[in-house]
Chain A
């Protein structure tokens, strides 16, 4: 059993729903107890979808368990087919139905419906949402495209002269983080390169579109969590290469373009010369100097974390002090990526562990999911959202991709705006406990989130200020105490770095066996840790 306050991912059948809901002409019959229909509101409320997800639930109750739940399931499949007339049916069980072992796949196949029926085995007590989405997409692709597979000894012929290269975009789903806009951005980018997009899947694809996936020259895997296993199968079956460079950030986008050019045998140099993102110049502009070495903590799904960490370091000049993900499936890739920043990847789906890590690292910015946004808000740290799990705010009305050159522009704005502007930071440092600029007031742009009311009169606090005490309590060596004048001097340090200064000073004192922190110790520590 795992004690869970918040979860990063839903159960695997929610992943299957994200595939079914993204597509056209697919219906999912889910053997599930009453109450599991809550999942509909993820789509109708968070994503503001104007249609119900194409899902029929058996919603069995206790009284049905004594009777024939298998019959209940068969009737649900039959009625769903008659009412919705889908081109293909997905069938499966949620966590509770898995326990009653009715074999939805076998039952549905026995009905001999005139459309493909794809049974899903999604072990709810082992796996989670992204795995469920990936498995569902893979099963669907396999079921629908396999009948069109070429013989084993077939070789993919060279592209006919005069025909533009074409590819499929794989991975965008319902409830995905900015998938809608990424698809538009990358489709536009490919068009300017001279590459046509054949099928986008699962988003907007029908079963017949999946059946012709093999016709494209290559695949673009936008979200490896969702589409990598399907792309690997397509590669094996149709000798169809794929690109899994995630084009988030300027450099990755340029690498993506280069890879597309190589695969499709076209010259991308004029496009690379012409395409512009404002990010490189904005980062070089002198007003961005204050971004240098900002300590960031990055957490989210593997794709976005790996990409964001790179952008943070290489394109904004931040320092990545921690990186982690709830995508256990991509542990190897994450550990590899973390090495580049000299940190250890935190691979966990325990929200409390992530929170503890953020407290420990005390970064100057958190790039994470909605959950890290809450952690950061509580700790008064600026943050930006880079990954699912999503919130209604992650479906902005405006065009707001993460990928491609426009995505890089969006990222620059989204990450930089929560931070304190350079001059504001300097003024705070100069005037310290000024009556408007103080810890209680918090930086203006963070609103009330950064203010801690209990902290409003820090000068009077004789021992330690409550807000910081809370975050340092477990790390403070019990044997270090502060002299009154050192404590007063500490209060003159801007509140947003005070926690770090306190910790560093105490560590410095402990390492040297000093029982009392004096003003001297404070400045000795400052010199010791200065970069």
Chain B
């Protein structure tokens, strides 16, 4: 079941990539709902799927802490499949019940799943129909978070891509504007907003917005910065609206954040001197924070299992700013274009792998005996039991890690498992 072809990839970097196909120990795109529903506070996510889908979201992040979550599953049953009932009528009924319970919802996402895709339930038509019947109170959109089409963070990509056609047109004389694309913690968003203000860059908006009434406008004068490396479809949809992508690294670590801000500064013609005046104080703080962790992390080897597509910029950060040694950098999907600024900064001797055959990758990991392994929750405890130190990759999605003020926190995420291991004497 494995097609293993190390290919020298074309494009701007000449890094050879190991491409594997086998068992992929990754989440599907439905998982993104866990953070997206917290980010967009008037949106509701209704998965149209099976009991497995409901069980996945409930288990993925132990999210049972919320009083009543803004997500749910319309679980398909035998009679929906056997055509005994019209699945569309059923969906209308479920949505009506849901909206009755939650009059605060302004935007409803119908989220496609593996079973809904396989039976070819047309959720885009359903969304259009439901939008009409619940207008103007509720807008209904759809996207697929199915495992057959999306891996983990690609669910966010699909969700944001479905929002792009909803963005209002920018007025023809509106002038330049910037959109930061990709869900960020509110605190990180606020920090970036302050930096852009100080740099004189604006107006700046964020996609996704905290409230769906605050959707950014878009037009040919719009430039956008990707805050996350997994947003291929969203970028394409924005390009189609005439927006222009600013090429850059991703805002992880001092170097990544600086290059990311500089891409916008250059587009806005900010002088080098002014740029440096603005970024120097936070850079200095970040440097101090990193110094603290570099001692512990320098020269430690690190092995990334594929998970969130954050692996490449993370490997760049840990190697260049913390002196760690990436052994393998696994990613579920290698977006050469969006990673064009990242790939040349990776250490030469690290193996870059795309896709997964988990058993073979575990063999490589065991043979490499890395000091720390970044992997999913299904693998972490078994690897710890084998004596390895692990960092759960999902925490990198649920923790504010972008920007200068979080550089130290990001380093700490890698340092903590090592510190813990050295502390424990049992």
Contact = CB atoms under 8 A, between A and B. Distances in A.
A100 B118 contact: yes
Nearest to B382: A52
Contact of B23 (A5, A13, A56): A56
Interface of B: 1, 22-31, 48, 50-52, 54-56, 58-60, 62, 64, 67-69, 72-78, 80-81, 87, 90-91, 93-94, 97-98, 114-115, 117-119, 146-149, 151, 359, 376-382, 384-385
Contacts of B381: 44-45, 48-50
B165 to A, nearest CB: 22
Nearest to B98: A3
A45 B378 CA distance: 7
A112 interface: no
A277 interface: no
Interface stretch (A28-36, A146-154, A194-202, A214-222): A28-36
Contact of A62 (B48, B115, B148): B148
A73 to B, nearest CB: 9
24 contacts: A1-B75, A3-B97, A4-B51, A4-B72, A33-B147, A35-B29, A35-B31, A35-B56, A36-B147, A37-B23, A37-B27, A39-B59, A40-B25, A44-B378, A50-B384, A61-B149, A94-B52, A95-B50, A95-B52, A96-B148, A100-B118, A124-B52, A125-B50, A128-B51
A33 B148 contact: yes
B25 A126 contact: no
Interface in A1-30: 1-7, 9-11, 13-14
Contacts of A184: none
Nearest to B48: A1
A469 interface: no
A192 interface: no
Interface residues of A, number: 60
B46 to A, nearest CB: 8
A512 interface: no
A6 B53 CA distance: 11
B51 A7 contact: yes
Contact of B24 (A40, A49, A59, A62): A59
A531 interface: no
A38 B91 CA distance: 26
Given A33-B148, A37-B24, 16 more contacts: A1-B87, A1-B93, A2-B74, A5-B72, A7-B58, A11-B55, A14-B55, A33-B28, A34-B148, A36-B28, A37-B25, A59-B23, A95-B50, A95-B52, A96-B115, A96-B147
A100 B342 CA distance: 40
Nearest to B358: A37
B147 A124 contact: no
A425 interface: no
A192 to B, nearest CB: 33
Contacts of B60: 38, 41
A55 to B, nearest CB: 9
Contacts of B382: 44, 49-52
A142 interface: no
A45 B61 CA distance: 11
Contact of A44 (B72, B359, B377): B377
Interface stretch (A75-83, A241-249, A477-485, A518-526): A75-83
A178 B21 CA distance: 39
Interface string A392-414: 10000000000000000000000
Looking at A35, A126, A128, A370, the one whose CB has the most chain B CB atoms below 10 A away is A35
Contacts of A13: 52
Contacts of B23: 37, 56-59, 76
Contacts of A45: 377, 380-381
A99 B54 contact: no
A123 interface: yes
A42 interface: yes
Contacts of B90: 1
A496 B1 CA distance: 61
A10 B119 contact: no
A50 B81 CA distance: 39
Contact of B52 (A2, A36, A100): A36
Looking at B26, B51, B68, B384, the one whose CB has the most chain A CB atoms below 10 A away is B51
Contacts of A52: 378-379, 382
Interface of A: 1-7, 9-11, 13-14, 33-42, 44-46, 48-52, 56-62, 64-65, 72, 75-76, 79, 83, 94-96, 99-100, 123-126, 128, 370-371, 374, 378, 391-392
Given A3-B72, A50-B385, A126-B78, A34 B117 contact: no
Contacts, number: 189
Given A1-B91, A5-B69, A62-B117, A96 B25 contact: no
Contacts of A83: 359
Looking at A33, A40, A62, the one whose CB has the most chain B CB atoms below 10 A away is A33
Contacts of B359: 79, 83
A65 B75 contact: no
Contact of A37 (B26, B74, B118, B385): B26
A36 B114 CA distance: 10
A120 to B, nearest CB: 15
B55 A34 contact: no
B378 A61 contact: no
B52 A34 contact: no
Nearest to B70: A5
A370 B58 CA distance: 12
Contacts of B98: 3
Contact of B51 (A5, A11, A60, A61): A11
A99 B118 contact: yes
A130 to B, nearest CB: 12
Contact of A125 (B1, B54, B64, B77): B77
B287 to A, nearest CB: 35
A46 B61 CA distance: 11
Given A41-B59, A41-B378, A96-B148, A76 B28 contact: no
B147 A34 contact: yes
Contacts of A2: 74-75, 77, 94
A71 to B, nearest CB: 9
B380 A44 contact: yes
A95 B28 CA distance: 15
A76 B50 contact: no
Nearest to A128: B51
Given A5-B68, A61-B148, A95 B115 contact: yes
Contacts of A62: 117, 146, 148-149
A286 to B, nearest CB: 39
Contacts of B58: 6-7
Contacts of A371: 64
A38 B118 contact: no
B1 A95 contact: no
B71 to A, nearest CB: 8
A5 B56 CA distance: 12
Contacts of B78: 123, 125-126
B308 to A, nearest CB: 14
Given A33-B147, A44-B378, A61-B149, A76 B64 contact: no
B152 to A, nearest CB: 8
Contacts of B27: 35, 37-38
Contacts of A48: 381
Contacts of B118: 65, 96, 99-100
Nearest to A44: B381
A449 B345 CA distance: 49
Contacts of B77: 1-2, 125-126
Nearest to B57: A38
Contact of A38 (B1, B50, B87, B378): B378
Contacts of A76: 1, 23
Contacts of B31: 35, 38
B64 A374 contact: yes
A37 B306 CA distance: 14
Looking at B58, B80, B91, the one whose CB has the most chain A CB atoms below 10 A away is B58
A266 to B, nearest CB: 42
Looking at B22, B30, B91, B378, the one whose CB has the most chain A CB atoms below 10 A away is B378
